[in-house]
Amino acid sequence: MTDFFPALTQLSDDEKAFREAIRDFAQSELKPLVSKMDEAAQMDSGLVKQFFEMGLMGIESPEEYGGAGSSFTMACLAVEEIGRVDGSASVLIDVQNTLVTNAFLRWANEEQKKKYLPLLAREWVGAYALSESSSGSDAFALKLRAEDKGDKYVLNGHKLWITNANEANLFLVFANLNAEMGYKGITGFIVEKGSPGFKVGKKEDKLGIRASSTCELIFENCEVPKENVIGEVGKGYKIAIETLNEGRIGIGAQMLGISQGAYEATLEYIKGREQFGKSLSQFQGVQFQLAEMRTLLETVRLMVYNAARLKDAGQPFVKEAAMAKLHASRAAEKICSVAVDLFGGNGFTREYPIEKFYRDAKIGQIYEGTSNMQLQTIAKLELG
């Protein structure tokens, strides 16, 4: 593959080496598992173990907590390269790094960091539990209730569509301590797998990213120790908003990886496929579609890397994150759709990878803020 990195997306030597190591791993270790995991709708447990061994589950965590002590951009590179082969594995790494670990780094107290960050970096998968059946885009219409019982909190209710739920050992859960205060009553809680009154429920049977577990969470008098409040009581809405702002860049990176994988598979296919006595790549109509795909892919990379660099530099990035996710998810669907067209009948079969890229791409316009919510965010920030 020919790299295309103008100034904005120029990678350092360390970033290039990191990317190449993940790319080699994805090709040799992940790719052979993709079809089986998709068919079974289940993540390979050995693969998750390898992610920890490679240091991909605590990329930003400081070395003192067992992490790699690296940057947000590095985390996005990992999400992209894994997504280039499999969107399901990509989102597992994404949620771990850009949502769960990020929330701990920004909002956890020192005791919580010492206890949980090493576990998240070395052996525990994390899940981010915000959505409910009645609170998707209206994220703060939470019905999960928390009651203060003196020495503990007790949670009752349900969460829905929670990524990594089957694999997770730790759940960052948002519940309302005071419904009368609306969003100002929302508080973040650290809930461990096996906590009394807590269980993982139904796993969704999905169109795409099928190996990624997406499940219901059930809380029936779930007991949470007082010390497991993350951040301040009543400030959960702030944690949720600001963490999701960062997570959107990660989803942009996932969509970038899916687009790259679909593009490369298409490029290889049209060079080898013959019709009317010559390869598809020799037809001008096909060449034009390929050029459109490549150009769209380039714009996605520019926007995703730009948002990640801004975040690392401590600069405002919320609008850029929203634009990157919006554009990356739309572009992924478009690129994968054209790829299916260029594969023809083969693109509609499971013998080739394109139909899976196409299925996996759709979720980008839905989770971690729908496209309409990104448009709203962009417009509000433009209008001041």
Handedness of CA 233, 200, 255, 3 (dihedral sign): positive
Q: Is residue 2 part of a domain?
A: no
Burial of 138 per CB tally in 10 Å (0-12, 13-18, 19+): exposed
pLDDT the model gives residue 296: 97
pLDDT the model gives residue 2: 45
pLDDT the model gives residue 183: 87
Following DSSP, what letter does each residue of 305-325 receive, concatenated? HHHHHHHHTT---HHHHHHHH
Catalytic residue among 64, 80, 368, 382: 368
User: In the block, which residue shows the tokens 């290889």?
Assistant: 268
246 in the same domain as 191 = no
pLDDT the model gives residue 278: 95
227 in the same domain as 248 = no
Element (H, E) at 74: helix 72-83
360 in the same domain as 289 = yes
In the predicted structure, residue 140 carries a pLDDT above the cut 90 = no
Task: Residue 372: give the domain boundaries.
Answer: 238-383
172, two tokens: 């960052």
Q: Which of 234, 265, 297 is the last residue of a domain?
A: 234
8 pLDDT band, cuts 50/70/90, is low
Q: Which of 184, 218, 234 is the last residue of a domain?
A: 234
Known catalytic residue at 368: yes
Q: Is residue 266 part of a domain?
A: yes
In the predicted structure, residue 6 carries a pLDDT above the cut 80 = no
Query: pLDDT, tens digit, for every residue of 281-326?
Result: 999 999 999 999 999 999 999 999 999 999 999 999 999 999 999 9
283 in the same domain as 199 = no
Q: What percent of the chain stands above pLDDT 70?
A: 98
pTM: 0.96
pLDDT the model gives residue 9: 67
Domain count, the chain: 3
191 in the same domain as 262 = no
Q: Is residue 152 part of a domain?
A: yes
377 in the same domain as 256 = yes
161 in the same domain as 90 = no
Mean pLDDT of the region 342-367: 97
5 pLDDT band, cuts 50/70/90, is very low
343, two tokens: 């594969």
**CATH assignment at residue 166:** 2.40.110.10
pLDDT the model gives residue 141: 85
CB 238 within 8 A of CB 231: yes
180 in the same domain as 50 = no
263 in the same domain as 376 = yes
Q: Which of 75, 100, 125 is the last residue of a domain?
A: 125
112 in the same domain as 246 = no
pLDDT the model gives residue 4: 46
275 in the same domain as 227 = no
In the predicted structure, residue 63 carries a pLDDT above the cut 50 = yes
Alpha-carbon distance of 261 to 361, in angstroms, equals 11
Query: pLDDT, tens digit, for every residue of 250-283?
Result: 999 999 999 999 999 999 999 999 899 999 999 9
**CATH assignment at residue 32:** 1.10.540.10
Q: What percent of the chain stands above pLDDT 90?
A: 93
49 in the same domain as 116 = yes
Q: Which segment of 1-5, 124-128, 169-173, 212-216 scores lowest on mean pLDDT?
A: 1-5
Query: pLDDT, tens digit, for every residue of 92-113?
Result: 999 999 999 999 999 999 999 9
